[in-house]
Amino acid sequence: MRHRSLLILTATVTVGALSLSACGSRDGKSGGDSGEKTTVVIGVDAPLTGDLSALGQGIKNSSDLAVKTANKNDEVKGVTFKLESLDDQAQAGTGQQNATKLVGNDQVVGVVGPLNSHVGQSMQKVFGNAHLVQVSPANTAPELSQGPNWQKGQKKRLFDTYFRTSTTDAVQGPYAAQYLYNKRKLKKAYIIDDKKTYGAGLAGTFTDEFKKLGGKVVGTDHINPDDRDFSAVGTKVAKSKADFVYYGGEYPAGAPLSAQITKAGSKALVVGGDALYSEEYIKLGKKNVEGDLATSVGAPLETLDTAKTFMKDYKAAGYKLPYEAYGGYSYDSTWAIIQAVKAVVEKNDGKLPDTIDDTRKQITEAMQDVRFEGVTGDVSFDKYGDTTNKQLSVYEVKDGKHKPVKTGTFQEG
């Protein structure tokens, strides 16, 4: 009896295996996918140490998750992806050195990053000369994709290797101005920036729109982003009776600035862009930053069904730090490179071109047509390399957390 059962089981498996031809179709090339695999590298550049490392580590981890997912699913037949992450410390010079290093590695087929717009600016030419595609999940300064004269309506793409998945400050600043002036009825602003490409640019687009709406700028200041003592500025803000402070800059200085404005006796909210939308802002500023506002790219991930698996997988992967503001965008940036590689492999009869130069050129060309449903929504790029998914949200610090209060979509008619 026992022998008979074993015989039945064995016969079932054997016949089942032999009956593959009856279950599906095969082209007779058995073992066609058993060939050797090519390993390619996706570079990541972000601030992995220093004040902005929370955002940088979120970028690195999210890219890592995308690479692991692609390898696990055998997303591109015959290709294994590897990640090489470099720390730019939020410094333009270091970013440029990293770009040169990545270009010099003939396994690198694309780069995700960086976080900071001024770092992105320093890398663009290096990648452009090498035809190496770059997809930033976080650069928001419009000139990176649209050229220095974008505000005069003279948009010009300078590097066809540059793409980004985040919305630009061309939308973020004016959206914040419209929201604060019309919705919140806040009419008196004190404008502060950190003199960097991102901070000064964002404060500029905000101020321009705010004034056009009828808002009054009651004071302006520039700060050094490495300082932590802003008591003098806090006193000036308190005297100005501003309804709010618009800060163009990042959270490491933004949080103590907000705290010291409160301590100086001002009731002004501090409002800023995506670089204030970090858990670190609240950790650093504690209760002093309650009520502060930040705009950030995209809709809240919690409203995206496509993001839920990402959030679950990120947690399951056991990364020590959260994915932060740009996690979803980093995953999508990495996935965009993977999809471009896939398109090139498919175009070249199942393999990558013979030379790295040709591979990089073709991947850059393929990136323009990449289109997929990503963690952050539909991912594709316009003629400037900007994302076509131009959503952004306003978040308010409530009970020690950033809570979404408004989401907007930019839709050019």
Binding residues for another protein, rule: CB under 8 A, are: 1, 4-5, 8, 11-13, 15-20, 22-24, 65-66, 69-70, 73-75, 171, 174-175, 178-179, 182-183, 208-209, 212-214, 299, 303-306, 308-310, 313, 331-332, 335, 342, 372-375, 377, 390-391, 406-413
Judge contact between 374 and 332, C-beta under 8 A. yes
What's the min distance (Å) between Cβ of 124 and another protein? 26
Judge contact between 243 and 189, C-beta under 8 A. yes
**Given the DSSP bridges, would you call strands 377-379 and 372-374 parallel, antiparallel or unpaired?**
antiparallel
Q: Find all residues with CB under 8 Å of 250, minimum gap 6, and list them.
A: 51, 52, 194, 198, 199, 225, 275, 276
Phi, psi (deg, nearest 5) at residue 154: -100, 75
What's the min distance (Å) between Cβ of 51 and another protein? 30
Distances, alpha carbon 157 to alpha carbons 207, 211, 307, 387, 391, in Å: 25, 29, 31, 14, 22
Classify residue 221 by burial, with Cβ atoms within 10 Å: 0-12, 13-18, 19+: middle
Residue 32 vs 50, nearer CB to another protein: 32
What's the min distance (Å) between Cβ of 185 and another protein? 8
Residue 122 vs 205, nearer CB to another protein: 205
Residue 17 vs 320, nearer CB to another protein: 17
What's the min distance (Å) between Cβ of 266 and another protein? 25
Nearest alpha carbon to residue 367 among 355, 380, 357: 380
Residue 132 vs 304, nearer CB to another protein: 304
Residue 335 vs 384, nearer CB to another protein: 335
| CA pair distance 413, 403, nearest whole angstrom | 30
Residue 62 vs 98, nearer CB to another protein: 62
What's the min distance (Å) between Cβ of 140 and another protein? 15
What's the min distance (Å) between Cβ of 319 and another protein? 14
